[in-house]
Amino acid sequence: MSLILILIPILAAVAILMGGKAKSLATGAAALNLILGLGSVFSWNHGVWDLSLQVLSKPSIHLALGFYDGMSVIMVILSVLVLFTAVMSGKCPEGREKLWYSSILLIGAGALGAFLSTDLFFFYAFHELALIPTFLMIGMLGSGERKEAAWKITIYLSLGSIILLAGLIWLVAASGSETWLFKDLLASSIDAETQSGIAALLIIGFGILISLFPFHSWAAPAYASAPAPVAMLHAGVLKKFGLYGLIRLYPMVSIGMQDWLGWLIVLLLGNILWVGFVTINQKRLDMMLGNSSVMHMGYIFLAFAALVQAGSSEANPLAIPAAVVLMFAHGISIALLFMLTDTIRRKTGTVELAELGGLAKAAPRLAFLFGLGAMASIGLPGLANFSGEVLVFLSGFNGYTGNGLGCVQIATILALWGVVISAVYMLRAYRQTFQGPSVAHTNSDHVKDFGPFCQIPAAILAIALLVVGIYPNSLLHLLKKEPAPSLETEQASN
């Protein structure tokens, strides 16, 4: 079943490349995936989703798919939601439909594959599969300084992947595990000294992929230049791969991670405060959003730091749920914002904040949806991000007894100031774009609002934000269930 989820977009992409009707195939595939993916909520721990094929005997590597636990389910839901809406958003340049839609589908397939893999190798490999079309799309069909941006993201993320791979190989070698399956790896143990080195590689490797400070300079230009669906998928979904991986592998290096707790905290505060200030100084809506997405990674890292400090998910039961909810929320909200920024770019012809103003008059629906996304991203209660952020802050103070502040608590307090910073830039941008008197680019003769049909993708994301925001338990319940005992169907191929 899991394989179907990955194959649908891949096959659709192949069909598109062979000359099928690009748009309808892509939309159909993504819709099918959405239904299947949402359906998994009810059936994920029944075992029907599991698959395990050995593709290499020495070392033993399996094409193993399935839902490892509730976190995978949540990430898959995020992926199918964003994939579906990404397919429907943006505007494909004339004559490039094949490239456009097949790339989007491949990125989606890669992301789904990564989150569905229960084998460390394929977890890594699927992510790479998703990166290549990302690079290509930014370089070919992006806007603005697309080539520089694309080259930068290519080099950065490749480097990150390499460092990560080094960490993963070392991890497996040190664990002594016979296979690369998560279940075997997580059942093994590594001595403390080795853990430290592996943890460093994982932090840097995953960190580059997540745009952890100071490896963040690729993110904003790439998102600003990327075609809307690519920015949505990468910032919304693919970037979460790194965090997902860190959390997934954390139990194996829990001791080693503690050596780096101080650094982790410094870096995450770099994300929140340093990049926060960088964001305030942005003059363009797309760059502002790109930087804000970098900044918000810091909060998820904060939850991770809290987990590291506590030493296990039992000692800090809040950290992982906090990170997961915030990952989901950030994914949806940033996808929504990138989608709408692209809409603004197309409707008004500019994303320079100085050239915008009063757009709410001509495009109230757009203004509402963008406002919802903006409010979500600055952590307004009732929208998903708040649920995540409040859990992050709680996880930071978990175990605090009132006798002096630990480093994680201080980080939490400083991170809270980031909430103010994000409100500053987000409201400033919203004020500059939608409020005030209309200007040449935004008057109502020039700009038309969303049609009722065009707002469907945005509305889907908005609803997701609302559902999780109003009732976070809808996601958290998924995290509580135990995964199904994995099927022992190893079809050895030798």
Partner 1 sequence: MSSYLLEIIVLIGGLVLLLIEAFISPKQKFKVAYTGIFILGIALFCLFFAKKGFSTENTELTRFYAFDSLAVFFKGFTIVATILALLLSLEYRKTLSKFTANPDSEDGTGEYYCLFLFACAGMMWMASAKDLVSIFVALELTTITSYILVGFMRRNVGSLEAGVKFLILGALSTGFLVYGIAWIYGATGTTDLALIGDQITEKNSTYLLFGLALILISLAFKVGAVPMHLWIPDVYQGAPTPTTAFLSIASKASGFVIMIRVIEPFLDSELGSKVAFILAVLAGATILLGNLAAIPQTNFKRLLAYSSIANAGFILMPLAAWNAGNDLTSKEVVAFYLAIYLIMTFAAFFILVVIHRNTGSDDISAFEGLGQRHPVLALMTAIIIGALAGLPLTAGFWGKFLAFKMAVTGGLWVPVVLGFIGVAAGFYYYFQIIRAMYWRNSLDESPIKISPLSLNIIAVLTVIVVILGIWPQPVYWLVGG
Partner 2 sequence: MDSFVPWLLLALPLLSAVAIHLGLKRNQAISAIVSTASAALTLILAIVLLLHKEDVHVAFNWISIGGFAGIKIGLDLDQLAKGMMLVVTGVGFLVHLFSLAYMKDDSAKARYFCGLSLFMFSMTGIVLASNFIMMFVFWELVGLSSYLLIGHWYEKDSAADAAKKAFLTNRIGDFGFMIGILMLWGITGHFTFSGLEGWAAAPTTFCATCLGIAVLCIFAGAMGKSAQAPLHVWLPDAMEGPTPVSALIHAATMVAAGVYMMARFFGALTPDGAELSALVPVFSGQTIAWVGGITSLLAALMATQQDDIKKILAYSTLSQLGYMVMAIGLLNPEAGMFHLFTHAWFKALLFLGSGAVIFACHHEQNIWKMGGLKKTMPITFITFGIGTLALCGFPFITSGFWSKEQILEAALNKNTALFVIAAFVAFLTTFYMFRLFFIAFLGKSRSDNADHAKEVGPLMYVPLIILAILALISGFQPVAQSIAPAYHHEGFHMGWAFGASILAVVLGFGLAFKLYKDAAEDPLAEKGIFKLFRNKFYLDEAYAKVVGYGQDTVAAFVHFFDELIISGFLVGGFSRAAGGIGRLFGRLQSGNLQGYAVLFGLGVLLIIYLTVFVS
Binding positions for partner 2, rule: CB under 8 A: 155-156, 214-217, 274-275, 277-282, 314, 317-318, 321, 358, 360-361, 368, 375, 380-382, 386-387, 390-391, 393-394, 396-403, 409, 412-413, 416-417, 419-420, 423-424, 427-428, 431, 434-438, 471-473, 476, 479-480
Q: Which residues contact 243 (CB under 8 A, 6 or more apart)?
A: 206, 210, 297, 300, 301, 304, 323, 327
Cis peptide before 221 (omega within 30 of 0): no
**Which window, 166-174, 209-217, 434-442, 475-483, contacts partner 1 (CB under 8 A)?**
166-174
Binds 489: which of partner 1, partner 2, none (CB < 5-8 Å by kind): none
Q: How far is the CB of 90 from partner 2 (least distance, A)?
A: 26
3 is a contact residue toward partner 1 (CB under 8 A): no
250 is a contact residue toward partner 1 (CB under 8 A): no
CA 464 – CA 311 distance, rounded (Å): 32
Give one DSSP letter per residue of 322-363, joined into a string: HHHHHHHHHHHHHHHHHHHHHHHHHHHS--BGGG---HHHH-
**Which window, 130-138, 306-314, 366-374, 442-450, contacts partner 1 (CB under 8 A)?**
130-138
Query: What residues between 60 and 119 interact with partner 1 by CB under 8 A?
Result: 63, 98
Q: Which is nearer to partner 1, 146 or 361 (CB)?
A: 146
- In the shown chain, the binding pattern of residues 145 to 164 toward partner 1, with x for contact by CB under 8 A and - for none, equals -xx--xx--xx--xx--xx-
Number of residues that bind partner 1 (CB under 8 A): 38
Residues 458-463: contacts with CB within 8 Å, 24+ apart? Answer: 458/85, 458/89, 458/336, 458/339, 458/340, 458/369, 459/369, 460/81, 460/84, 460/85, 461/81, 461/82, 461/85, 461/332, 461/333, 461/335, 461/336, 461/339, 461/373, 462/336, 462/369, 462/372, 462/373
Binds 124: which of partner 1, partner 2, none (CB < 5-8 Å by kind): partner 1
CA 26 – CA 13 distance, rounded (Å): 7
487 is a contact residue toward partner 1 (CB under 8 A): no
Q: How far is the CB of 91 from partner 2 (least distance, A)?
A: 28
φ, ψ at 337 (rounded to 5°): -70, -40
Residue with structure tokens 């590291």? 308
Quick check: 375 and 465 in contact, CB under 8 A? no
Q: Which is nearer to partner 2, 123 or 301 (CB)?
A: 301
Instruction: Report the interface residues with partner 1, using CB under 8 A.
Output: 17, 54-59, 63, 98, 121, 124-126, 128-129, 132, 135-136, 139-140, 146-147, 150-151, 154-155, 158-159, 162-163, 165-166, 169-170, 172-173, 493-494
